[in-house]
Chains A and B, each alone.
Chain A
Amino acid sequence: MTAVELIGVTKEYESGDRRVTALDDINVTVDEGEFVSVIGPSGSGKSTMLNLIGLLDRPTSGRVVVGGVDATDMSESRRTEKRGEVIGFVFQDFYLLPNLTAEENVRMPTAFNKSRVDSGRARELLGRVGLGDRVDHYPNELSGGQKQRVAIARSLINSPEVLLTDEPTGNLDLDTSERILGEISKVRETGVSVIAVTHDPMVEEYADRTVELVDGRLSDSRSDTARVGGEP
């Protein structure tokens, strides 16, 4: 079953008095439980693609379908709601709230929706990422890898269908990166699709396939992009 579909998506920005095309007529499909890494040089449109799938941005043209629902024309409020329901984010800089404990950080997204998630679920998720003994620690008491694992637990609290990660290993050493990728990889077992934007070749080793973007277009150079590009 398809978790994410970008259909003929183009994204243009105004930059001063000229228009910059960040993505140019892209077609991407990601299946349920699939791990796709997105690579490409800086400025190739990787983050733009992630923002469009994450409903943080709107395409200039084309359609964005997430969790089987066309979100292209949704209102800002509905998109925010949808984001909370079906998408989990993991960022390079973690963005944990420094005044909340690990467990409170994991529960933070539930403060904005009607779901009543108790601390048991947050503790269970922290246990799953190997931080069962750090639930009451504040971010400044955690290492970079531990913070990123808290961020992964936070991204899963609302049981998302799609997990989006932007340079998840960007600030981590080799050993920690392997552990984080192992955690992200495990997420797929529960049917969650993972899309990881990265410069890190190690991510590709964990991904089911890799998509390469060059100047806002999908590159044909990679052999494992069979379900990417072409006609939807």
Chain B
Amino acid sequence: MAVRNLTRSRFRSGLACAGIAIGVFAIAALGIFGNVLAVEATSTIGEIGSEVVVTPNGEEGYTSIPETVVDEIERATSGTPSAAILTASGLAASRGETASVTFYGTENPGAVFEASEGSLPRVFRTGAAVGSEVAERLSLRVGDRIETEVGSYRIVAVLQGSETQISPVSPDEAVVVPETALGTGGGYDQVVLSGESGGGASEAADAVRETVNARENRVTVFELSSVVEEIDDFFSLLSGFLISLGAISLIVAGVSILNVMMMSVVERRGEIGVMRAVGGQRGDVVRIILIEAVALGVVGSVFGVALTSIAVAALYYLTPVGASAVFDPGTFFYLGTAFGVGVAVSVLSGIYPAWSAANEDPVDAIRD
């Protein structure tokens, strides 16, 4: 009976369903898009989240990290791969082409860089690894030679570009050489620690602060995980904001259902009076009106979820966003939540009209 009542004003019921569908779509789509952004960003920056950068504390007058301090750091963080790095700027040339590059001198490039071609040796004594931009500009491949201000080297690896790896040292314009090439007499410019996880990096950072900086703040310890946390916080805020926008449209849809049900109840006043007269209890009337509201909500929410699924499929097929981000559990969570909220809003919107209809005096309803 309730469902048939809805078909009496198909256009009006259709509009109410469309309102709920749009509201559910808004909540689900904005929630999912926010989540996809967060997942994509987290997967990109996740690799730096486990790195700790130790630099000389310039405020206390330290301009480099001496060998002894590097040893202290390594002892304090035993088990965490680390690389002490020297930095210099200069020129590199090959086959008549010249490029401005940044030289990184380290014994352990594998702790900081990743190779896209060739391989990075565990102990770096000979050869050089070049960044992707340097390799492109000088047309270099593994096995070629490169002439630099700090020596002539055979290329052993081309580094992964920063598009797929964010690193505290910029790999694109890098020429990574053995540290002896840059001379270690003056100490190192930075030490990069690569923890296996954000938690491990945090422990390593604390260990450095407790040992190296026990008496004097000789080094500055920068945890990239703190940046990641801030970014996570930002995405949580962004998601909340987007969902709030969606919720507003769902509230508007709820008001629309309230309006549809109120109009319906007023129009059917006499009929509802007769239902009460022939033995329908107040609860029966409440049940009929609520079922109508739920039916509107369920139909609207199903359409909303279907629309969102199409949008998510479009996101996957038409953009470079990966399957892991699109089909993250968060996507299904937002779809389910939006459906539930759509139905719940419909039920809430039906409560007042139902109460109002049930409490109408049948004598008045039939008389007018």
Contacts and interface: CB of A to CB of B under 8 A. Distances in A.
Contact of B278 (A47, A76, A77, A89): A89
Given A98-B8, A99-B5, A100-B4, A108 B363 contact: no
A112 B279 CA distance: 6
B275 A108 contact: yes
A88 B274 CA distance: 11
B168 interface: no
B362 interface: yes
B279 A80 contact: yes
Contacts of A88: 278
B363 A111 contact: no
Contacts of B5: 99
B273 interface: yes
B271 A81 contact: no
Contacts of A154: 278
A81 B274 CA distance: 14
Given A99-B7, A112-B275, A47 B280 contact: no
B313 interface: no
Contact of B280 (A54, A80, A85): A80
Nearest to B4: A99
Of B7, B282, B362, most buried by chain A (CB within 10 Å of CB) is B362
A112 B8 contact: no
Interface string A46-86: 01000100101100000000000000000011001101110
Contacts of A112: 275, 278-281, 284
B279 A83 contact: yes
Nearest to B283: A77
B367 interface: yes
Interface residues of A, number: 29
Contacts of A51: 363
Given A95-B274, A100-B4, A80 B363 contact: no
Contacts of B284: 111-112
B270 interface: yes
Contacts of A191: none
A226 interface: no
Contact of A83 (B271, B273, B277, B282): B277
Contact of A97 (B7, B271, B273): B271
B214 interface: no
Contacts of A204: none
Given A56-B362, A93-B270, A95-B273, A158 B279 contact: yes
A85 B280 CA distance: 11
Contacts of B218: none
A89 B277 contact: yes
B1 interface: yes
A44 to B, nearest CB: 15
B276 interface: yes
A54 B278 contact: no
A112 B281 CA distance: 7
Nearest to A52: B363
Contacts of B271: 95, 97
12 contacts: A54-B277, A76-B282, A80-B282, A83-B278, A89-B274, A95-B270, A95-B366, A99-B8, A100-B1, A109-B278, A109-B280, A158-B279
Interface of B: 1, 4-5, 7-8, 270-271, 273-282, 284, 362-363, 366-367
Given A89-B278, A98-B8, A99-B8, 14 more contacts: A56-B277, A76-B282, A80-B281, A83-B277, A84-B279, A84-B280, A85-B279, A89-B277, A99-B5, A99-B7, A108-B1, A108-B275, A109-B279, A154-B278
